[in-house]
């Protein structure tokens, strides 16, 4: 039996811009089960980024409820949200967001610093996930010594290091060429197959086809929420296939 990991109920988000109130989200209700692979899509101004920020506990809704792993996080204070972000959510960004002067290994281990783990434990765990993403031979390289695809693999390893409840990938292939994008999407599928819940935010239809479910937003509302019957498989994404 599947287990609900995310439940959004009637989420509204308003922003004040000058004298106007912008209603970015207008009552979004969504449920996501553990080990789902969901793509979140929508044109500019659809509310996609606002929803992603709420899912990632980077922002709180104006009204409505957000339960993550059974806990209502919609009304938490900033310090509580920071703790939830570190423990429950692994972020993968389009721009990698790596510390330029730190090695790949230290970048991956960074969330464990905030979690208070001892250095030897941090590095051991970071080495494990570096191996999972195929970068065992790049642990002591700095970001400027890595290709774009390798940097994104480091970012994915960092997202995984805390064993988060969800991995939130925001346009993870936006800065990559086609071949490298295919490799990164294959890696994300490996991670999903290992039992992780992935929410993929993208505006690219071919990238969204890797997800098993596609939620489309328009004008702050869920326009459609459908199973993807044409999932691009791991075998199809492998180079040379």
**pTM for this predicted structure:** 0.90
Q: Which residue has the tokens 């936006």?
A: 174
At residue 21, the pLDDT reads 94
Whether pLDDT at 232 is above 90: no
Nearest to 150 by CA among 190, 187, 199: 187
127 phi/psi in degrees, rounded to 5: -65, -40
CA-to-CA distance for 37 and 10, rounded, in angstroms?
22
Nearest to 27 by CA among 9, 1, 49: 9
Nearest to 206 by CA among 235, 236, 226: 236
**What residue ranges do the domains of the chain occupy?**
37-58+78-237
- CATH 3.40.1280.10 for domain 37-58+78-237, yes or no, is no
pLDDT per residue as tens digits for the range 21-41: 999 999 999 999 999 999 999
Task: Tell me the two tokens of residue 118.
Answer: 């001892």
Any idea what the Cα angle at residue 167 is, between residues 178 and 62, rounded to 5°?
115
| Mean pLDDT confidence for 153-163 | 94
Q: Who contacts 178 (Cβ-Cβ below 8 Å, separation ≥6)?
A: none
Any idea what the Cα angle at residue 89 is, between residues 56 and 229, rounded to 5°?
80
Q: Which residue has the tokens 């702050």?
A: 220
Q: Are 105 and 123 in contact (CB under 8 A)?
A: yes
| Mean pLDDT confidence for 128-154 | 94
Above pLDDT 70, what percent of the chain?
Answer: 96
Whether pLDDT at 238 is above 80: no
Above pLDDT 90, what percent of the chain?
Answer: 78
Which pLDDT band holds residue 239 (cuts at 50, 70, 90)?
very low
């Amino acid at each position: 039996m599947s287990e609900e990991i995310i439940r959004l109920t009637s989420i509204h988000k308003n922003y004040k811009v000058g004298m106007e109130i912008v209603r970015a989200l207008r009552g979004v209700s969504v449920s996501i089960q553990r080990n789902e692979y969901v793509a979140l899509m929508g044109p500019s101004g659809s509310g996609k980024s606002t929803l992603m920020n709420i899912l990632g506990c980077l922002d709180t809704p104006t009204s409505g409820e957000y339960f993550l792993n059974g806990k209502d996080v919609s009304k938490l204070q900033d310090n509580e949200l920071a703790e939830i972000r570190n423990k429950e959510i692994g972020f993968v960004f389009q721009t990698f967001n790596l510390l330029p002067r730190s090695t790949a290994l230290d970048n991956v281990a960074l969330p464990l610093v905030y979690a208070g783990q001892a250095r030897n434990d941090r590095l051991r765990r970071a080495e494990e996930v570096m191996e999972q993403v195929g970068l065992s031979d790049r642990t002591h390289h700095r970001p400027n010594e890595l290709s774009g695809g390798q940097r994104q693999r480091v970012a994915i390893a960092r997202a995984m290091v805390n064993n988060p409840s969800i991995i939130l990938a925001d346009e993870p292939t936006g800065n990559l060429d086609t071949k490298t994008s295919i490799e990164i999407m294959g890696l994300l599928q490996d991670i999903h197959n290992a039992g992780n819940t992935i929410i993929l935010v993208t505006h690219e239809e071919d990238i969204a086809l890797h997800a098993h479910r596609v939620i489309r937003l328009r004008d702050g509302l869920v326009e459609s929420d459908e199973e993807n019957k044409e999932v691009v498989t791991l075998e199809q994404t492998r180079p040379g296939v």
